[in-house]
Copies of this chain bind each other. A is one copy, B any other.
Amino acid sequence: MALIVQKFGGTSVGDVERIKNVAKKVIATKRAGNDVVVVVSAMSGTTDYLINLGKQVNPNPSKREMDMLVSTGEQVTIALLSMAIHYFGEDAISYNALQIGIKTTSDFTKAKILGINTEKIVESLKQNKIVVVAGFQGVDEEGNITTLGRGGSDTTAVALAAALKADRCDIYTDVDGVYTADPRIVKEAKRLDYITYDEMLELASMGAKVLHDRSVIFAMKYNVPLRVVSTFVENKGTLVVKEYKNMEDLVITGISQKLDETRVNIAGIPDRPGVAALIFKKLAEKNINVNMIVQSVGKDSKSQISFTVMTNDLNDTKEVMEEVKEELNAESISYDSDIAIVSVVGIGMKVHAGVASRVFDILAKANINIEMISTSEIKISVVIRKERASEAVKLLHKEFFEK
């Protein structure tokens, strides 16, 4: 008997009929002889509705109270899904994060999971119940309700799978797997049967919205096999694993674009040790995630640093950078939100040389200017103008997948 964690997102539980549909899927897995723990998000639209309601009351709402507010969304879904499972004849019990103890940091609206108390879940599974858990939410040391940020239900599911040593974690969503590129941009994009954690992680953090990147980190760390599968289409989806056969045969596995980042440029800063550390420590303290970083030195021994942050974090970033500017006596700071980050990702890069030059060549031929470059062992990312992003993705897909 296997233990399977299944996660259903907001679209999958978007109305009463869909909740019943999810109940049937969960029951099918249970009746196939498995123990099942289900993690659900709020019904689609609910979180936005609640955030909007909060902002009507207070345009600058307390983050603690915002988490108190939006966490009700998942609680509604767990109750409804349990009722639906009962309706179809299996036993089920719902738990919110306070009840199980999904312990997180106190970073309201983007808390991190520290640990999960599995006692209640294990006990309920022993009683032959399907356990339905609220995704996206947690509780800090003081007993305050927290949320994990957008996509946090994926993280809940994987963290639960890790804590319970589950055999597999199935992420049900409205796409039927991981594709070589976003099929809405590239018609020729193909679904992958397998992808490694490393590749998925690079793709997720670079804008492929199939999985929340923190969920992939969790899965990798605890070696939880992760399956991305559609709620609406019957196929086996994509399995995210540590390694698979012939995984280096493909030069690259996927191409992604990210449109919600802003480039920050701070120029005329002293070229001495500790400057970068100062900037990025201050940003980290505000919980602002920095994506790409490039530093260069000019001739007057002044240097400049460019980096990208989520456009969502721009206001917080500006606050930090004003302080930094004063402290370093910098010449100027600029912000540019009209950028895109396009990335090609693949384990195959390790063995197939020349991928970077092929990328640069393709973009050059199309007269697409590269403004920043960042590479890892299995990824090449470039910053280009936002309006050229789709074109770049199409051209790169043609180069690497359609030959």
Residues on A lying within 8 angstroms of B by beta carbon are 16, 19-20, 50, 53-54, 56-58, 61-62, 64-66, 68-69, 71-72, 75-76, 78-80, 82-84, 86-87, 93-94, 96, 98-99, 120, 143-145
A274 CB, min distance to chain B CBs, angstroms: 38
Q: A20-B57, A65-B82, A99-B144 given. 19 additional CB < 8 A pairs?
A: A16-B57, A19-B57, A53-B76, A54-B79, A57-B83, A58-B83, A58-B87, A62-B83, A62-B86, A66-B79, A68-B82, A68-B94, A69-B79, A69-B80, A69-B83, A72-B75, A96-B145, A98-B98, A120-B143
Known contacts A53-B16, A79-B66, A98-B98; A86 and B72 CB within 8 A of each other: no
A86 touches B99 (CB 8 A): no
Tell me which residues across on chain B come within 8 A of A16, comparing CB atoms: 53, 56-57
- CB-CB under 8 A from A80, the residues of chain B are 53-54, 57, 65, 69
Which chain B residues border A76 with CB–CB below 8 Å?
50, 53, 69, 72
Is the pair B75, A58 in contact by a Cβ cutoff of 8 Å?
A: no
Q: How far is the CA of A75 from the CA of B97 in the complex (A)?
A: 14
Q: Which residues in B have their C-beta under 8 angstroms from that of A94?
A: 65, 68
A-B contact pairs, 30 of them (CB 8 A): A16-B56, A19-B57, A20-B57, A50-B76, A53-B76, A54-B80, A54-B83, A57-B84, A57-B87, A58-B84, A58-B87, A61-B83, A62-B82, A62-B83, A62-B86, A65-B79, A65-B82, A65-B83, A65-B86, A68-B78, A68-B82, A68-B94, A68-B96, A69-B79, A69-B83, A72-B75, A72-B76, A96-B98, A98-B99, A99-B144
**Interface of chain A, helix or strand or loop or mixed?**
helix
Bound Cα distance from A64 to B93, whole angstroms? 9
Identical subunits present: 2
Tell me which of A56, A66, A78 has the highest count of chain B C-beta atoms within 10 A of its own C-beta: A56
CB distance from A58 to the nearest CB of B (A): 4
- Provide the residues of chain B in CB contact with A79, threshold 8 Å: 54, 65-66, 68-69
**A390→B99 CA distance, assembly (Å):** 48
Residue of B nearest to A98 (CB): B98
- Please pick, from B56, B72, B143, B144, the residue contacting A72 in the complex, using a CB distance under 8 A: B72
Q: Which residues of B contact A64 (CB under 8 A)?
A: 93
B contact residues around A62 at 8 Å (CB):
82-83, 86
Output the least CB separation between A8 and chain B (Å).
15
Nearest opposing residue in chain B for A87, CB measure = B58
A153 to B61, CA, bound (A): 25
Q: How far is the CA of A324 from the CA of B76 in the complex (A)?
A: 39
Instruction: Give chain B residues whose Cβ lies under 8 Å from the Cβ of A84.
Output: 57-58
- Please give the distance in Å from A341's CB to the nearest CB on chain B: 35
Identify which of A54, A83, A99 gathers the most chain B CB atoms within 10 Å of its CB.
A83
CB pair B99 A143 closer than 8 Å: yes
Return A96 CB to nearest CB of chain B, in Å. Answer: 8
A62 to B93 Cα, complex, angstroms: 10
Instruction: Tell me the minimal C-beta distance from A21 to chain B in angstroms.
Output: 12
Bound-complex Cα distance A61 to B81 (A): 11
A78 contacts which chain B residues (CB < 8 A)? 68
Of A16, A58, A66, A75, which is in contact with the most chain B CB atoms at under 10 Å from its CB? A58
A64 nearest in chain B by CB position: B93
